[in-house]
Amino acid sequence: MSPTEPHAGHPAQKGDDSISRQIVLPWAKSFEISYKNLKVRFFRSMITVLSLVLAVAFLNFILTTTDLAQGFLNTGGEEAVKQLSEAGFDVHETAMTVGTGAKERWIVILSLLVCTVGIVNAQLMSVTERFREIGIMKCLGALDSIVLRLFLLEAGMQGLAGSFAGALLGFFFSALNGLVRFGWGSVSGLNPADVLASMGMSIGAGLLLSLIGVFYPAVVAARMQPVVAMSAEH
């Protein structure tokens, strides 16, 4: 018997060896690969990022404008109630609170839905363009979970960048709008904690939209058979 031949008393050795050879990709390497993929596809990635910037900017604009209106109500008294009511805000005089109108809420919901559809479309195009790349990874032994992780990490990076930029942009325009419509009183009575909460909600919503939008395309990419991916024509 050759020394390299398996012993008859150890039939499970082959199975154990195949399990030990499964590829495990560290998280640090996953982040590195995802970041490089975004750099290579910078302009394609900007489609997703810009759609997030616009949606999150509008969301934070509405939220921060409500915060500014609340600050104006706290410092302006009866005159503030009158101006805010004329501007279309829902003013509750007994509780001294301000809420957004129904029209603004529906516009925000529609803008977020359009943003999500745009992300799904952009990510599906990205998967189509990367058939051969996905096939090579699968042929080299990449598990479905690794491919899924890479796509989700890319979406997370795009979501954070676009949401943060959009939140800052929305705050800037809402502050400018508040100064023009209600004067310095809207800014002087503003609660910083409310502003931070609005920005946090906007960034969280943008990140969630990015992950939701990429989930289906990422699952499609992860479940793709290597032979199909390698033979795809672009």
- 93-127 pLDDT tens trace: 665 677 777 777 888 888 888 888 888 888 778 77
Whole-angstrom CA distances from 208 to 26, 45, 171 are 24, 17, 20
- Give the pLDDT confidence of 26-80 residue by residue, as tens digits: 889 999 999 998 998 888 888 889 988 998 999 999 999 888 888 888 777 777 7
Whole-angstrom CA distances from 193 to 66, 94, 149, 196 are 13, 23, 34, 5
Q: Do the Cβ atoms of 155 and 123 come closer than 8 Å?
A: yes
Q: What's the rounded Cα separation, in Å, for the pair 222 and 46?
A: 23
Q: What's the rounded Cα separation, in Å, for the pair 56 and 4?
A: 62
